Structure 1
Amino acid sequence: MKLITFEVPSGALKLGALRDDSEGLIIDLAAGALDIGLENSSLASMLSLIEAGPSGSQIASEVVDAAKTMQHREWAGISPSSIKWKSPLPVPPQLRDCLMFEEHLLNSYAMLRKTLAEQEADPEAALAEYEAKGVYRIPSVWYDIPVYYKANRFSFIGHDEDIIWPEYSEKLDFELEYACVLNSYTKDVSLEEAKKRIFGYTIFNDVSARDVQSVEMQASLGPSKGKDFDTGNILGPCIVTADSVDADDMTMIARINGEEWCRGNSGSAHWTFAEVIAHASKSETLVPGECIGSGTVGGGCGLEHGRFLNPGDVIELEVSGIGTLRNRIVRKNQ
């Protein structure tokens, strides 16, 4: 199933599923369950569905199946033009963002060395010196444990919502990631058990103020205002249940204003989500609905290419099996 959260004209948020047809119509799951005589309290929201466990997913599946033969019902065929897309989890219980892709780090550090060398009198000699000294080299700890930071869970938007450019930055970037969503309380789990704790997957755009990030990361504490601003975290357009996609072989593409900037594959990750979950759950309880971001796929941001975003740009992040997450950048007073 492909599950979404959408807003109707009254302002209410509803849990929906995408119909498996070419029309792209939406099923109102709670309304559908009520119509066919099923208990629907677990379908009040994405989080309530996840917390309900297998029984909630079974009810949702029954509604989706019923919609195939009840397409004339209003709840079974809602036009996307009549709703507003929201983040599938409007306020995730938690979000941890990782660095699972080695290629992203190698590319980013190479670009940072080049940028630093270009400020010297002899850029070519400076670059050779930086490379010999291991300036911006991947730290060995990255190969020992899956590292992550915790993001601002209150700043999420969804598909087709505008990104508001933070007023303190002049260099904005996207990050092409995908994320897993946990299905249950999880603590001290084995690697094998961790694989079973994934409810589904979604696309994650971790928008970054690179000029600010480059300054504050010198303190070796972690990203703050380089990442923390309203509308800077984007999930969507849907959550695909884990049984509906091969998460180890998804093509990942980023387009800016229709131009392809990069293409990668989820299978190129050095770390797996199971490894991240097993590590993060040591002596700590992870919760249903918690999201874990993969980190940027190799080549999956402007920094790696020396290109950055402009006001008015439209970002499209496509991940096979999930869909396309689209957002426009808006800069106030410009």
Structure 2
Amino acid sequence: MRYATYEYEGTERSGVVLGDALHPLPEGVTLLALIQQGGDALREEGLRALTRAAAVSVEQVRLLPPLTPPSIRDFVAFEAHIEGVSRSLDGLESVPEVWYRAPAFYFTNPHAAVGAYDGVPMPAGCSVLDFETEVAAVIGRSGKDLTPEEAREHIIGYTVFNDWSARDLQKPEKELGLGFSKGKDFANTLGPWLVTADELEHRREADGYLDLEMTVSLNGTLLGRDTLANASWTFDEMVAYASRDTWVRPGDILGSGTCGWGSLAEIWGRVGERTPPPLVPGDEVTMTVEGIGTISNRVLPGAPAQVPPRARKRGRTPRP
């Protein structure tokens, strides 16, 4: 089944997607709340929604992120992407050996999620805006110290994920060694809806990978094409790793990392120049994942940057 959260006539609702129609869940029932109740509750409420006559067209609503995630972990699972970005941003000729040791991830901002067709303002102070084409898995039930086999049963569904990146803000943040902050803090597109895991099971290969084509276009021109099956770790393995020594909880989102040819920075590393150039207001980025759907966001002008004060050198003697 497919579930969406949307705004219609000034009211936010969740519902089941069937064709071009949205069948609303009861007023006040959120997708996150249903997921927290478990997969059976989600399915039963969805089936009841389909029996109700009242429905609206997808074209009549503003699609919001399918759910408000408690957390977002974003992995970097595609070797091709790491290879291109390493050349572009760090001047490296090969993938760093440390990348192969484990499926690394970072935490990004769950409060910065935007809808499938919302505008995305330029982040303040950014002049090198980029996109990143990903699939996200959504956790359906709590788990800790999971094996990959167990982890598969904890994934309730999938959605398309654009991990927007301010490359010029990101670069000095990397030099400090604490991870990303404002370079990744401003927008994460999620949508257009949540597709339950059973809907995609027929695309699973013998080695556990989901063979889903991923494409990204800029202003109507196709820039990149890959498949989720080219990731170096399966989602089962990534969820298991995320659960090591800690909990994954219902509604948590785990991004696959950017697919091959899925971002401008990777393309720049491969062609040796910034072609296409960084995003500017008016550009429209469209991503499609087979079996899930399409998201398309236009870049908007952003707020002027407020330059923070430099650190004050105190030079004081520590108190005893």
Give yes or no for contact 2:15–2:46 (8 Å, CA) kept in 1. Answer: no
| Deviation by residue 1:189-221 (Cα, 9 ceiling, x = unmatched) | 112101111000000000000111122112222
> Separation in 1 of the partners of 2:41 and 2:33?
8
Aligned to 1:87: 65
- Report deviation, 1:82: 2.7
Structure holding more strand per residue: 2
Aligned ranges for residues 217-296 of structure 1 at < 5 Å? 217-229=174-186, 232-245=187-200, 246=203, 248-296=210-258
Letter in 2 for 1:257: N
- Report deviation, 1:65: 4.8
Give yes or no for contact 1:178–1:294 (8 Å, CA) kept in 2. Answer: yes
| Deviation by residue 1:279-333 (Cα, 9 ceiling, x = unmatched) | 1112201110000001100110011222321211111100000010111110148
- Report deviation, 1:224: 1.0
- Report deviation, 1:87: 0.5
Aligned to 1:27: 23
- Report deviation, 1:138: 2.5
Q: Of 263, 271, 279, which aligns to 1:309?
A: 279
Give yes or no for contact 2:158–2:197 (8 Å, CA) kept in 1. Answer: yes
Q: In the alignment, does 2:1 pair up with 1:46?
A: no
> Separation in 1 of the partners of 2:239 and 2:44?
27
> Separation in 1 of the partners of 2:39 and 2:105?
29
* Distance of aligned partners of 1:192 and 1:332 in 2 relative to their CA distance in 1, 3 Å threshold: closer
- Report deviation, 1:242: 0.1
Letter in 1 for 2:84: N
- Report deviation, 1:83: 1.7
Aligned to 1:158: 115
Letter in 2 for 1:269: A
> Separation in 1 of the partners of 2:291 and 2:57?
21
> Separation in 1 of the partners of 2:23 and 2:50?
10
| Deviation by residue 1:13-52 (Cα, 9 ceiling, x = unmatched) | 2111111x3xx12111226xxxxxxxxxxx8011111111
Letter in 1 for 2:197: A
- Report deviation, 1:61: 4.0
Q: Of 82, 90, 104, which aligns to 1:105?
A: 82
Letter in 1 for 2:61: I
* Distance of aligned partners of 1:212 and 1:58 in 2 relative to their CA distance in 1, 3 Å threshold: closer
Where structure 1 has 5 or more consecutive residues not aligned to the other structure, the ranges are: 32-42, 68-72, 117-134
Corresponding residue SS for 1:154: helix
> Separation in 2 of the partners of 1:269 and 1:333?
36
- Report deviation, 1:111: 2.9
Where structure 2 has 5 or more consecutive residues not aligned to the other structure, the ranges are: 205-209, 269-275, 305-320
- Report deviation, 1:277: 1.3
> Separation in 2 of the partners of 1:14 and 1:65?
15
- Report deviation, 1:9: 1.6
> Separation in 2 of the partners of 1:46 and 1:65?
15
* Distance of aligned partners of 1:100 and 1:192 in 2 relative to their CA distance in 1, 3 Å threshold: same
Aligned ranges for residues 146-225 of structure 1 at < 5 Å? 146-225=103-182
Give yes or no for contact 1:112–1:136 (8 Å, CA) kept in 2. Answer: no
Corresponding residue SS for 1:30: coil
- Report deviation, 1:66: 2.5
> Separation in 2 of the partners of 1:143 and 1:327?
33
Aligned residues: 289
> Separation in 2 of the partners of 1:17 and 1:49?
12
Aligned to 2:316: none
Corresponding residue SS for 1:303: helix
Letter in 2 for 1:319: V
| Deviation by residue 1:235-268 (Cα, 9 ceiling, x = unmatched) | 0000100000136110000011111011110000
What percent of counterpart residues are identical?
Answer: 36
| RMSD between aligned residues | 1.8
TM-score, length basis structure 2: 0.86
> Separation in 2 of the partners of 1:9 and 1:65?
21
